[in-house]
Homo-oligomer: A and B are copies of this chain.
């Protein structure tokens, strides 16, 4: 899912997202709540109409964002009281409030409110936090009345298998139509992340979607598809593109580099996105070197298209029962990838 934090996938129009092959995008509940506000989005008849995007939208819980507001938030059993990062104003997120906000936004898939513990945290802290998140999941499900929206529960538990299992099993007792895996990609090692998704693969129900929140590089995505993950979101392709780093079938490429000054080949010979079909590395390098916004747009189009093709190919390989071979072949090609998460 391309990330459309503030009712726009940065630099792109909805028609470009469709051309790229995006099937669903993500909106951030915390950011949309602050600006333009969920009441305004409700008056606009929902986020789809407001931003002119006719395909599905998923909104996150806001849990990760309020966790990030260190020193500006206080967690109680009732919910999280926090200050806006924009103007310092006070706000309160409760499980019920977060459902209400997402209901006003009108996303197709919504999340129950969770406490997303930071990394590192003690096992004791995570165990306590887990109880809160489970209580909030129950309260969220009770508050959830709009049957046009699908409510996912969020599995927490840090890097501890027993806590992850407890979280997953108790959420499964509440019974959600899909499960998110939160609290990863927050600083732990890739090995720990993969250990947890592999572990949960044998616990979460096979007939319901699993969504790994906030991951990742092309290799991370392949690894986690291998661990049974169905859905991902990450700002990586878009944020890196705006800084001039794009993903290709041969690893990453820093388009601003002087080495591309007279390189009239496309970013990726194998790619048929709008950018690669029409523009050269030299042109993109020029746009970035003179700070022309079209550079960010064209790089974003390419990198999102690359991600969409990657998961499309993975999907096909799964149907063809060739995922392991596909993954191995792709990983060899992607070996130049050196970006962190």
| Contacts from A to B (Cβ < 8 Å) | 6-8, 10-15, 35-36, 40, 43-44, 50-52, 261-262, 264, 274, 278-280, 282-283, 286-287, 289-290, 292-294, 296-298
A286, B11: Cβ atoms under 8 Å? no
Complex: A36 Cα to B262 Cα, angstroms: 10
A278, B14: Cβ atoms under 8 Å? yes
A52: contacting residue among B7, B50, B278, B286, CB under 8 A: B278
17 further contact pairs, Cβ within 8 A, besides A13-B298, A40-B262, A297-B297 = A6-B290, A7-B283, A7-B287, A11-B294, A13-B297, A35-B289, A35-B290, A36-B289, A40-B261, A40-B282, A40-B286, A43-B262, A51-B283, A52-B279, A52-B283, A293-B293, A293-B297
List B contacts of A278 (CB < 8 A): 14, 52
List B contacts of A287 (CB < 8 A): 7-8
Question: With A40-B262, A43-B264 as given contacts, are A8 and B292 in contact (CB-CB < 8 Å)?
Answer: yes
A286: contacting residue among B35, B286, B298, CB under 8 A: B35
Complex: A40 Cα to B294 Cα, angstroms: 19
Question: A26: shortest Cβ distance to chain B, in Å?
Answer: 16
List B contacts of A36 (CB < 8 A): 261, 282, 286, 289
Question: With A286-B35, A290-B35 as given contacts, are A44 and B280 in contact (CB-CB < 8 Å)?
Answer: yes
List B contacts of A43 (CB < 8 A): 262, 264
Complex: A43 Cα to B260 Cα, angstroms: 13
- Which residue on chain B has the smallest CB distance to residue A278? B52
- Which residue on chain B has the smallest CB distance to residue A277? B52
List B contacts of A264 (CB < 8 A): 43-44
- Which residue on chain B has the smallest CB distance to residue A19? B15
Question: A243: shortest Cβ distance to chain B, in Å?
Answer: 14
List B contacts of A292 (CB < 8 A): 6, 8, 10
For the complex of A and B, the 8 pairs showing the least CB-CB separation, nearest first, are A52-B278, A36-B286, A8-B294, A11-B293, A8-B292, A6-B290, A35-B290, A50-B283
